[in-house]
Amino acid sequence: MDVKPRRRLSKPVVAFTFAWTRQAVESRGWRYEVWCEPSETELDNIRFLAGYRRDWLFSPELLQEVRRADLDGLALGEAARRIPGRTGRCASW
């Protein structure tokens, strides 16, 4: 696996190095991947959620509702609208 900021992927030296690495790795039957930073939406969600790492900030009832809901892959605003009995505003959580 190689990790590189998305903005650098199009640089010729980076593309050359990744192509060379891919060939060397895959010739051994291994899988090769290039990872970049998450999308802006995902990164914003991570930053937002990082402020709420302490479970004592949330009511146990709300946590149960969130865990029961099918929220994988949703933006926070959409997730908030899917919790029954909630207004859809994150501030109301």
52 and 83, same domain (yes or no): yes
DSSP code, position 3: E
Chain segment 37-88, per-residue pLDDT in tens = 888 888 888 888 877 777 777 788 888 888 888 888 888 788 888 886 765 4
- Structural domain including 45 reads 40-92
- Is 93 a residue whose pLDDT tops 50? no
- Is 11 a residue whose pLDDT tops 80? yes
Alpha-carbon dihedral sign for residues 89, 49, 71, 61: negative
44 and 65, same domain (yes or no): yes
C-alpha R_g of the chain = 20
Q: Is the pTM of this model over 0.75?
A: no
23 and 52, same domain (yes or no): no
24 and 57, same domain (yes or no): no
Query: How much is the pLDDT for 60?
Result: 84
DSSP code, position 39: P
Alpha-carbon dihedral sign for residues 51, 52, 56, 57: positive
Q: Let me know: does 54 contact 63? Beta carbons within 8 Å.
A: no
